[in-house]
Structure 1
Amino acid sequence: MRVGLPRLALALAVTCALVAGAGAAVCPVGVGDCCAVDADCDDGDACTGLETCDASSSTCVAGTPVDCSDQDPCTDDVCDPLTGTCSNPPAVDGTPCEDADACTAGDACALGRCVPGEPVVCAAFDQCHEAGICDPATGDCSYAPVADATPCDDGDACTVGDACVAGGCVPGVAVVCAHLDQCHDAGTCDPSTGDCSNPAAADATPCEDGDACTVGDACVAGSCVAGVPVVCGAPDQCHEPGTCNPATGTCSNPAKPNGTACDDGNACTSGDTCEGGTCAGGAPVVCAPPDQCHDAGTCNPSTGTCSNPAKPDGAVCDDGNACTTVDMCDGGICSGGKPVVCELPDQCHDAGTCNPATGICSNPAKPNGTACDDGNGCTTGDACEGGSCVAASPVVCHAQDQCHDVGTCNPASGICSNPVKPNGTTCDDGNACTRSDT
């Protein structure tokens, strides 16, 4: 709605008196805005209204301009100076306008109409607010906070899990710069990048190189250097040296062949051998009594020595001399008993001597002809011959009388039997005066 420029008669405020000169009663017609009558003030423009002359000051008073405004920003407000008639042709396309919606920007006229511009975008002004809503009346955006716990970034790369709370971004958990590996120390976090520093651990710091078959691994310039290799020695006498398993560090444990000589640690066994990787005891040591005056002992596993307990005193033994009898143990020693007495074995031998090896007495024969008794009462004149009693003459048993038969000699008593003849046997009673004696 453009308005034509009015004449600024009053603004000039030129006094007619000064223009006309001192003492002039009226302003000369046509000089400036001085006037004598209303006609002097007509500017010839019907759009400026009807000008009048102020008689008191001889100055023109502007009229009321014609108002051609149609209150439409997309039309030009044009007044015809000749007639004072208004017209409202379309404004030039692109002329800024206002579409009455404050939520559009860059509104412009097109073909006499106000076309809305780009809508106002109420972008979230930070990560903890939702995109806003534009108020058409004011063009202001409202911004609601996002839900609590919505992820956000507090601008510190050394926090993780930042979250919105009541529209503000609250830092999460601090980044922990744990050591990268066993040969690096824990680092520090760079807030601008979130990267952790990675300082190497001091040289000689113990570590594990991942090979369980090395020991004493240590860090050197941030790397784990293998230590001394594990030596798989034979764990015992029934196993060979093994090999190390890198995954576990455990040594294999191969058993020696069965029958391999070993020592089971018990001195009371002998001929010990390996069997299935275990040393099996051989034949047990037998603790036989060392002699007749000691009992069988027990074996000491530490030394293999047998105990040697003495038998009780008085225990029967043999002192090795067959010429002693009733030998007995005394303090573990066999003491000889009574000596063997070599008595006369018979009447044709003398007393002999004892042989210690056999306990047998010698038996010397008496001289031949030495009188003896052969134990048979029915012999007489017995005499020794070569150690034997030999009978000389046998006893002759005669009939005692005519009424007895010849008897027999009793060897035990040397007495002859005296058997009676049968009754009726003829005899002679020595009396001639009897006959037919029987």
Structure 2
Amino acid sequence: MSRAPRLLPAYTHRLNNGLSVILHPLPIADSATVDVWVQTGGRNEPLQWLGISHFLEHMVFKGSERLAPGELDRVIEGRGGITNAATGQDYTHYYITVAATDLPDTLPYLAEAVLRAGIPPEEMERERQVVLEEIRRAADNLGHTAYQLLLETAFGVEHPYGRPVLGTPESLMGLTPELLRAYHRGWYRPEYMTVVVTGGIDPDQVLALVEREFGDPASGSAWTRPPIPPQPRPQGILRRESTHTRLEQARLKLAWPTVSLEAWEQVCGLELLAAVLGGGRTSRLVHLLREQRGWVRRVGCSSLVLKEGGLFCISARLEVENLERVEATILREIEKLQQEGIGQAELDRARRLLTHELLFSAESPSQLASIYGYYETLVGVQRLQEYLELLQAFTPAQVRELAQQYLSPEAYVVALLKPAASGAAAASELQLACR
């Protein structure tokens, strides 16, 4: 076995069938986490199968020929453990956290469910209603609604990243057990999977256990990734607005297309730029817009990076009457940074913030397993060390150049979620519009 990043040491291994295995012992931990990552999500879905990755995630818990529906949950929770799963645009993953001594007895259940999902038709019909309810709840979630509005505006529905990972009620009704089984056979294969185990473990014993449960060769043919159109680039200011009846304050999102995970050095630099502009109370936008002027209730900045594209996003929660001046102020601050640059102390603060954020998020077995699985699935676990080293290497001039290259004041995306007009105000607006 070979050792991975110095600051987050782990043992890495690749089984003969192509499965990636990452093991990180934490001698002081009494628990262990197993996190199984699959390299498929919304990005690989044809439009007519929208939501199939997430629906399959649900159906994995419905058992196999040897595992009754719900038995995985009963076994894990019966021992005081936790089990869950998540689906994104570029991945699906399943994880359990149990007492370290229970790992040999519980990991086989997770492997059976993930590798040999049966997709029982009667269970699928019941679970379809659960997913439909999840879609309804998501539509009621203000943060989710604003985020989805941004993705739809920035990527468009022709691009997979502009579509909802949950799917739509219409697309869900067209999914069949046969489709889910075919999708499972095509993607849930060793060469597309990573198994991460962290916590109070013996690496050699756990590697043997993983090899026994996950080491069989795949059957049938793998699926090739469908072609994905290039990420759209706005030729000016692309603005889209929507309203929500439960919203009390507006949600404003400004975004600029950036880079995919392949441009790793720029990815790390954009993280620093986001921290300078909107990371913490002393960052430029938070200090100016919230602490000094009180124009926003909340403001922040992030760099979303995916396998096939990226967005540099500035988000704010604010009163509707402040929208125009807040957007104008954000653009002025960006132009100021582009013209004057940033100081060394400002860059050092952003460096410390991001470094500690990563290290603090790796303190428990479950957090650590998630970080390893995410990196290995999307960009390779070796990038963890490179990320920490690149954060230290960037200069103020390089961060300024990234702002000049990507944050154009003349070409960006605006997604705005506003409170719906109520009662008399709505009637008045309607009368004015009709005159």
**Which structure's residues are more often helix, by fraction?**
2
TM-score (norm 1): 0.12
Q: Which of 1 and 2 has greater Rg? A: 1
Structure number with higher relative contact order (C-alpha < 8 Å, ≥ 6 residues apart): 2
TM-score (norm 2): 0.12
